[in-house]
Structure 1
Amino acid sequence: MTRAPETPLPSPKECRRLREAQSLSQADVAAALGVTRATVRSWENARTTPRGTNRDAYVRLLTGAQEVTPHQENPAPALVGAATGPVQASLDRAEPAPEPPSETPPASELAPEPDPELGPDPAPGPEPELGSELSPEAEPEPEPLAPSLTPDQAFDALYAFCAPALVRQTYLLTGRRELARESVECAFQLAWHRWPEVAMDRDPAGWVRATAHEFALSPWHRLRPRHRNPEPPPAAPADRALLDVLLQLPPVYRRTLLLYDGVGLDLPETAAETEASTPAAANRLLHAREAVATRLPELAEPKELHRRLAEVASAERLHAAKPTTVRWGGEQRARHWTRAAIAFTVVLIGATTLTLRTAPDHYEPPLAPGATVHGVPPRVAPGPLSAEQLALRAKLKGETVSGPERLVPEAG
């Protein structure tokens, strides 16, 4: 049986031009196709491509075969102020609309997803999300890695795009506010130090997110004196109970649950970010959901769990530092480590030079160990004097100091 050829799809730039030519926003296209705005943005950024029925409907919509009336979408409660800009890693996960079986992931017990590469498509609704996304009409979508931007501007745009949501994600992973902010700052400082590599990465936001999560979950933090003092828990009892359940999960289970049910990644992407196979990630996700449902039965549904995760994260009012401060801190840290490396190298060279100057320049054979000689009588120690020896000593003491009389000169 031959497979029907896929509908020809214009280039990502052409798709965006066709959408703007019809005065449609990304939210309008997402609502018409039943997908998320992040999915439409990934199509226009060439990160992913639509498949199956979504591809056909997307092409018909862009070519004018299907008309869509622009609408004013219901704004979701923002967890971050509008001044911080839109956030890429948002917790907008909900139950997606079912798709044909050929496009669903193999994990049957997980929440259904329309495409394993594009991620889940949550149903629209005023749910709280971890990082608000402003509509394109209110603020143009940022392009953090645009070629026309300088490295400083591109980094600042990426930081404003991702940092607010990452602080809330790392807070759910660690339960510590200062550690969450420190993890995000260290991740972006490392990104600025390796900016050419990050700028050329296919998913810069995912690179920074993975770095921040790994730093936040590092087991070495428990050795720090500040880590031994617990921080105040959330004020609401429900939020405190959910955070306690999350912190009791193993770190890998906690991270898998956050990425899939919180951030909204699909199963293959979650497995890749946690450096596990897809079956292993699915097994971790199922066990984490089961542990949460055992303690909190009202969160057995993934949609309700996502909503509660967003509420707990947004209730803390965590704020990230300014991008210029992060860049300056990263440069200062790089200078500090560079100077430390230079000082260590100078000390090492000096120690090596001193060793070469004081080391012997020729071979000196070692002394052979002593051997025991047999047959030699032992040395006799002096004992008491006999009568003859005592008389001789008295006679010698009675003589003149200069010697016997025959040697003493006489006056003429």
Structure 2
Amino acid sequence: MKRSPAPPLPPPEVRRRVREAATMTQDQLAERVGVTRETVAAWESGHEAPRGRKRDAYAKLLGTLADAAPARRPQPVPEPAPKSVPLVVAAGGGPAKTARPPALTPAQAFDALYEFGAPALVRQTYLLTGRRELARESVERAFQLAWEHWPEVARDRDPVGWVRATAYEYALSPWHRFRRRHRQPEPPPADPAHRTLLKALLKLPSPHRRTLLLYDGVGLDLPETAAETEASTPAAAGRLMRAREAVADRLPELGDPEVLHRRLAELASTERLRASRPPTVRAGSERRARFWTRAAIAFTVGLIGATALTLRTAPTHYEPPVPPGEAVGGVPARVAPGALSDEELELRQKLRDELQDGPERLVPRPG
């Protein structure tokens, strides 16, 4: 039996719009498809791609929701297939012909992605945290994770977005406050205007600061910002408005979004933030993977050894426990000898008065 072709699946930003147009929450959609809410959030953010029967059920449900609201329905767009860029080659003065570019190795593709996205991501993460060293560390850690999951990242629709979301999550982790080198304040920017803007940004709550940076700094639209921050579009819009109001209260001249975007770009560009070279990042990722692999092997060997020792020293048959002792009753107590009776006294005197030695002791006398 020939299987019917799978229905087309719209891009991540369209998926969210279709669900919100149908006034359906992520929990409700997850229950309809048979997955968790976190999976639906990952599908809508583009971090994961649905596959198999779940993909078919998800695509059919989105089509049903889109048909139910034709007035507000965004046109589903099938996922575009990767296109090869033609390369014009003229050999020996002959006519130009189109040839496929040579396929990149995974390391070359990763290096190209790193060279393209790392410098901007370091500057963005600096605006998010206000710490230069933490910004570099977050971006390097995100690219190390990208190299560990390179097959998934290479197939992602937005690899830079994948790395950006990972870097932001790592940079905003609350555990950094317990690290010794992050307790000391870093020198602020030299320009007083930049110093004031950075201070105003750091006063914002981290979700509001991240939303403001993605929308007014990076330039994402509102659905993409909501998807990357794992929030609904109305919630992202509310965070953006409150963040703009807080910044405008401190710096009234930044009430215009265009001025705010320009000032954010100037603040990020004035800091000299350099990232490591791609081979260094790949080597660190591979070294980290080897460390955890060896740690897992050592733990497994230790667990096997402990299990073998337990089996070797464990008893092979049942040994009943020794019952506790019990007191025995009814035994008369030991007493010392008392005074002699009259008969005993008479016998003792008779023995003393009789002959103690002689043949009479051995041979009885005749009667």
Report the TM-score range of the alignment, normalised by the length of the smaller protein: 0.5 to 0.7
* Letter in structure 1 aligned against 2:215: Y
Q: 276, 296, 301: which is aligned to 2:256?
A: 301
Identify the residue that residue 168 of structure 2 maps to in structure 1. Answer: 213
Q: Would you say how many aligned residue pairs link Structure 1 and Structure 2? A: 247
* Letter in structure 2 aligned against 1:328: A
1:344 equivalent in alignment to 2:337: no
Contact 2:13–2:224, Cα closer than 8 Å, also in 1: no
CA distance 1:188–1:347, shift in 2 (3 Å):
same
Identify the residue that residue 249 of structure 1 maps to in structure 2. Answer: 204
Structure 2: where are the runs of 5+ without partners? 1-10, 15-73, 77-100, 341-367
* Letter in structure 2 aligned against 1:226: R
Instruction: Determine helix, strand or coil for the equivalent of 1:178.
Output: helix
Identify the residue that residue 359 of structure 1 maps to in structure 2. Answer: 314
Identify the residue that residue 229 of structure 1 maps to in structure 2. Answer: 184
Q: 1:364 deviation in Å?
A: 2.6
* Letter in structure 1 aligned against 2:192: P
Structure 1: where are the runs of 5+ without partners? 1-45, 50-114, 118-145, 389-412
1:7-406 paired onto structure 2 within 5 Å: 148-368=103-323
Tell me the distance in 1 between the aligned counterparts of 2:191 and 2:329.
94
Give deviations 1:308-358, integer Å, cap 9, x for gaps: 111111111101111111111111111111111111111111111111111
Q: 1:366 deviation in Å?
A: 3.5
CA distance 1:194–1:374, shift in 2 (3 Å):
same
* Letter in structure 1 aligned against 2:193: A
Tell me the distance in 2 between the aligned counterparts of 1:229 and 1:195.
35
Contact 1:116–1:267, Cα closer than 8 Å, also in 2: no
Identify the residue that residue 138 of structure 1 maps to in structure 2. Answer: none
CA distance 1:311–1:236, shift in 2 (3 Å):
same
Q: 1:365 deviation in Å?
A: 3.2
Tell me the distance in 2 between the aligned counterparts of 1:268 and 1:376.
95
**% same residue:** 74
Tell me the distance in 1 between the aligned counterparts of 2:138 and 2:75.
29
Using structure 1 for the length normalisation, give the TM-score: 0.55
CA distance 1:147–1:301, shift in 2 (3 Å):
farther
CA distance 1:357–1:289, shift in 2 (3 Å):
same
Instruction: Determine helix, strand or coil for the equivalent of 1:235.
Output: coil
Structure holding more helix per residue: 2
Give deviations 1:385-405, integer Å, cap 9, x for gaps: 9999xxxxxxxxxxxxxxxxx
Tell me the distance in 1 between the aligned counterparts of 2:314 and 2:110.
53
CA distance 1:275–1:373, shift in 2 (3 Å):
farther
Tell me the distance in 2 between the aligned counterparts of 1:306 and 1:374.
98
Could you say what the CA RMSD is over the residues aligned between the two structures, in angstroms? Answer: 2.9
